[in-house]
Amino acid sequence: MLGKLTWDAIPFDQPIPLISGAVVILAALGVLVWVIAKGWLPYLWKEWITSVDHKHIGIMYVLLGLLMLVRGFIDAIMMRAQQALAFHAQGYLPPEHYDQVFSAHGTIMVLFAAMPLVIGIMNFVVPLQLGVRDVAFPTLNSVSFWLTATGALLVNMSLIVGEFARTGWLPYPPLSELRYSPGVGVDYYLWAVQISGVGTLLTGINFVTTILKMRAPGMTYFRMPMFCWTALASCLLILAAFPVLTATLAMLTLDRYLGFHFFTNEAGGNAMMFMNLIWAWGHPEVYILVLPAFGIYSEVISTFSGKPLFGYRSMVAATLFICIVSFCVWLHHFFTMGAGGDVNAVFGIATSIIAVGTGVKMYNWLFTMYGGRIRFTTPMLWSLGFMTTFITGGMTGVLLAVPPADFLLHNSMFLVAHFHHVIVGGVVFAVLAGITYWWPKAFGYRLEEFWGKAAFWFALAGFYVTFVPLYVVGILGMTRRLQHYDVAEWRPWLMISAAGILVLIAGAICQMVQLSVSFLRRNELRDTTGDPWDGRSLEWATASPPPVFNFAVLPQVQDAEAFWDVKRRAREMHGSGSEPHYEALEMPRNSPTGFVCAFFATIIGFALVWHIWWLMIVGLVGAYATFVVFAWRDVPEYVIPAEEVARLDRANRIARQEAPYGASAI
Amino acid sequence: MSAAGTTITISDPYRLARGPNLARGHGGGGPATKRVIVGYGFWLFLLSDIVIFACLFATYTVLANATAGGPRARDIFDLNHVAIETACLLASSFFCGLATIAVARRNQILIQAALIATGLLGLAFILLEASEFAALYARGDGPTRSAFLTGFFTLVGCHGVHVTAGLLWLGTMMAQFFAKGFRPDIGRRFLCFSMFWHFLDIVWVAIFSLVYLVGTRL
């Protein structure tokens, strides 16, 4: 009846997952009860859960990403603590639990924290920067979000019901095959990643279509803001790389569920094929994350230097160069496979060459700042912190790209230090910069600066104290994923690293304080003009927060810096011109399709993990029924009358005319 | 959403060569029409699906000789059987093309007839494929026998699953035309369906060539 699911699946004998799971469940129930008691459920359902508005979906993505960032960070704290304690000892985490912690940490951080954060910011910003009213497929966008949330839910469910994979964040066979991992951990991984991967793929399709086919009149390719270019490159990578992930995980699933022989040791299976396939997705994946991050830095640095982005076209070229070359480097993840000197040389050189694109970007950011009037706001500090951190992190990457060096450093803590160096310094800093930068646009008030800056300095210092020692232990020969060790020279460095995580915790607390303080002081931090930073692109041309239709009249773009150009002309004409002619607008109706899809996807995923076949069939029938009901709808859109559009837009125009341009900026 | 002071349309091919393109959806002219957006998005989906098939093709090719003492490709393929399968699928695409013409002419009877023919031929293809798989299973040459058969069943089976999903979609499509008539959104969905159906042909032609034709020569 319930497949493999029995009471043994609940870890009654292990206090850590049991207590943390209970706390999470209680917290979730508490929030639910609070929401119901306050009578907010109808509002949440109408405005958020069923919303197809890209702004609301973007905010929900970011919220999901932040929650998962905290979850992944707790895993990180546990690992650093374990390695600090486990010298000639077992520490406090038994091996089977420690293995789950590092697997969950990687999976959650890359797929359920970084991806939702980056995609969330793309969701919120891209249509506004393009000067349009929504993405190409609004309902599909909601489906994407809810499928990602399903994946996150399944991963977290494994904390209490059953177990998570013990194979690392990429389940390498033969370890991940049924014979060596008979539990449900790998199955949780497979279905969680598979379901959220479908969501991500749909996002890729949605945004490539949006960026290529839906832009404000006059916005030619070379007038698109840099963030849109990087979002385009990232989504093109999603489009080409995520199907590879889907196919690869499907093959491993077939091996585990139906006894196929893709990656098994027997009957001719080929485990190294898995490594090749998974990294053909995995390497582009890091650029999927970091290219939009580069876009965020470009926007922030240009705005707070008060200058157009230096070398715009070379920046576009560098972005697309990275986009293509990122598919030609995957083998550097396993130089030790034994592909031979020639093959390793080709991939080593390609890996070194890809750094050239990033180098171009670095110089462009430097020259953007050169001669500018720089405002050291919180987003700008994150960007500067990124530039210094990413240069050193990138150089350790170039070092690893040299095959003979890689043979020594492969799978060592040096590698762990390297990719945290670039991903934390590149993606996490960018996300925090982006959240601070676009927060006033999303919520109508700026974030408080003091706590934001404190969070930055703690994070930067904590980052170096945590990860530089890991380079050292890597060179001293420590391999990654060690549950305990008995080499005395490693101990002091791992203690320093554990101290570093305390500094990072302080940074995380400052960040939370910043959000709370800003919320409490939101009236003094209010952004009435919609343009708090003296911005240069179109998202600052509308109110904060923007009306549901973003722009009452689609802007006419005449320059690469569309809004800066508008402001310049307005200044020359001493005013922002006459009121435009308002027309009635058609907007997509909200739809529960995404939420219902995710509900059935959760059922299907859970049923497959536990081999509950009847439940899987129920889920599949439900999903098909959802598809038919959605296809059967008659009125997908509603009309906002012209008077309503005019009323909403006039308030914003008055606020803008009262505030002289630039004066509203800090 | 008029273009920036101009009235250039997509049907002006010479404009493409001259300076900034201000046609709708091509940069300067504002968002493209819904039909273009939906069709374009679906093309991108098909491209991503092709990447999945590319992985399966690559895997099959890597594993093609890993027979683990089991049958080789030339021992199990019956080209006559596959030729009939191919004929069914290609003919069904022909009827799908007729359905496209019928949609353009708004002829309900012709649409339903052409889609029924499309569906029946698709069903015949699936049944023939199932009989081939069943015969292999019966001889003990299922996908668990060897890595080669794993790759074969997955690649060909994945195409079969696509055709089956296409048949479900086709049924929904017929019902929508019957119940809702020729609404623009249903026309756009049919555009996507027909693209999907022809795409399955293209993949099948690759399977026929690479798996069956090359396989019987190995």
CA atoms within 13 A of residue A3's CA, in its CB half-sphere: 17
A505 contacts A511 by C-beta, under 8 angstroms: no
Q: What is the pLDDT along chain B (218 residues), one digit of tens a residue?
A: 333 434 444 443 434 444 455 555 555 678 888 889 999 999 999 999 999 999 999 999 999 888 888 888 888 888 899 999 999 999 999 999 999 999 999 999 999 999 999 999 999 999 999 999 999 999 989 999 999 999 999 999 999 999 999 999 999 999 999 988 888 889 999 999 999 999 999 999 999 999 999 888 86
Q: CATH number, domain at B121?
A: 1.20.120.80
pLDDT at B69: 87
Report whether pLDDT(A664) > 80: no
> At CA A244, angle to CA B160 and CA B214, rounded to 5?
50
A538 contacts A128 by C-beta, under 8 angstroms: yes
Q: What is the ipTM of this complex?
A: 0.91
A165 contacts A181 by C-beta, under 8 angstroms: yes
Which pLDDT band holds residue A310 (cuts at 50, 70, 90)? very high
The whole-number average pLDDT for the span A255-265 is 92
The whole-number average pLDDT for the span A428-457 is 95
One-letter identity of residue A428:
V
What does the DSSP 8-state code read for residue A428? I
Helix (H, G, I), strand (E, B) or coil at A448: coil
A409-435 pLDDT, tens per residue? 999 999 999 999 999 999 999 999 999
pLDDT at A627: 85
A576 is catalytic: no
Contacts of A220 in chain B (CB under 8 A): 20-21, 27-28
DSSP track, A281-345 = HHHHHHHHHHHHHHHHHHHHHHHHHTSPPTTHHHHHHHHHHHHHHGGG-GGGGGGGG---HHHHH
| A63 has a chain B CB within 8 A of its CB | no
CB contact under 8 A, A273 and B62: yes
Question: Residue B29: which of A217, A268, A277 has the nearest Cβ?
Answer: A217
| B102 has a chain A CB within 8 A of its CB | no
pLDDT at A580: 80
In a domain, B42, yes or no: no
**What are the phi and psi torsion angles at A486 (to 5°)?**
-135, 35
| B161 has a chain A CB within 8 A of its CB | no
* Cα separations in angstroms, B198 against A14, B53, B91, B118, B207: 55, 15, 11, 11, 14
Interface test with A, best of B15, B150, B161, B199 (most A CBs within 10 A): B150
| B36 has a chain A CB within 8 A of its CB | yes
A285 is catalytic: yes
Which pLDDT band holds residue A665 (cuts at 50, 70, 90)? very low
In a domain, B198, yes or no: yes
Interface test with A, best of B51, B156, B177 (most A CBs within 10 A): B51
Range of the domain at B193: 49-217
pLDDT at A662: 46
A168-219 pLDDT, tens per residue? 999 999 999 998 999 899 999 999 999 999 999 999 999 999 999 999 888 8
In a domain, B14, yes or no: no
| Closest chain B residue to A214, measured at CA | B31
> What is the rounded CA–CA span in Å between residue A540 and residue A441?
8
The catalytically annotated residue of A361, A421, A441, A656 is: A361
In SS3 terms, A108-176 reads as HHHHHHHHHHHHHHHHHHHHHHHCCCCCCCHHHHHHHHHHHHHHHHHHHHCCCCCCCCCCCCCCCCCCC
pLDDT at B22: 56
pLDDT at B28: 64
B173 contacts B185 by C-beta, under 8 angstroms: no
| B48 has a chain A CB within 8 A of its CB | yes
pLDDT at A573: 66
| B155 has a chain A CB within 8 A of its CB | no
Report whether pLDDT(A575) > 70: no
A579-620 pLDDT, tens per residue? 788 888 888 889 999 999 999 999 999 999 999 999 999 999
Question: Residue A214: which of B3, B32, B189 has the nearest Cβ?
Answer: B32
Q: Work out how many domains chain B is built from and give that number.
A: 1
pLDDT at A666: 36
In a domain, B97, yes or no: yes
B215 Cα to chain A: minimum distance (Å): 18
pLDDT at B26: 59
In a domain, B26, yes or no: no
A544 is catalytic: no
Contacts of A208 in chain B (CB under 8 A): 44
> What is the rounded CA–CA span in Å between residue A334 and residue A328?
14
Contacts of B154 in chain A (CB under 8 A): 251, 254, 260, 262
The whole-number average pLDDT for the span A478-507 is 94
Which pLDDT band holds residue A527 (cuts at 50, 70, 90)? confident
In a domain, B34, yes or no: no
pLDDT at B6: 42
Average pLDDT over all residues of chain A: 91
> What is the rounded CA–CA span in Å between residue A324 and residue A636?
38
pLDDT at B1: 37
Interface test with A, best of B26, B59, B190 (most A CBs within 10 A): B59
pLDDT at B202: 94
